[in-house]
Amino acid sequence: MGKLAIFLYYILSVFPSDANENRRHIHIVRKGGKKSHRGYTVAKIWIEENGQKKVEVDWSELDSTDESMIVDIIDKHWEELNKKIDDVFAGKKVAIKKFNK
């Protein structure tokens, strides 16, 4: 798992297999969670479509407040997160960004 950022008790990440998918997305992983869809993943958020910025929730188990805050963070920091995804897929070490409310 390529960790991109941390917000509250969530990790924004990508998985190596994501490099082959046709649309970029970020998995939201709950730290220490027991219920999950894939590992501890609690949401999947698309961040682009056809190479253009488009942030939208694919699916989510988040409450509406946390989901809204995470979507807002992804939208505001889209370029930085997209660059980190490039670095993860290129096998580069990525500094994990910590976001506050």
Q: Can you give the pLDDT of all 101 residues of the chain as single tens digits?
A: 789 999 999 999 998 788 888 899 999 999 875 554 456 889 999 999 998 999 999 999 999 999 999 999 999 999 999 999 999 999 999 999 999 87
pTM equals 0.88
Judge whether 98 lies within some domain.
no
Residue 99 belongs to a domain? no
pLDDT at residue number 38: 54
C-alpha–C-alpha distance, residues 2 and 51, integer Å: 20
> What are the phi and psi torsion angles at 80 (to 5°)?
-65, -45
Total of domains in the chain = 1
CA dist 71 and 64 (Å) reads 10
Residue 37: its pLDDT value, please?
A: 47
Structural domain of residue 65, as residue ranges?
Answer: 2-91
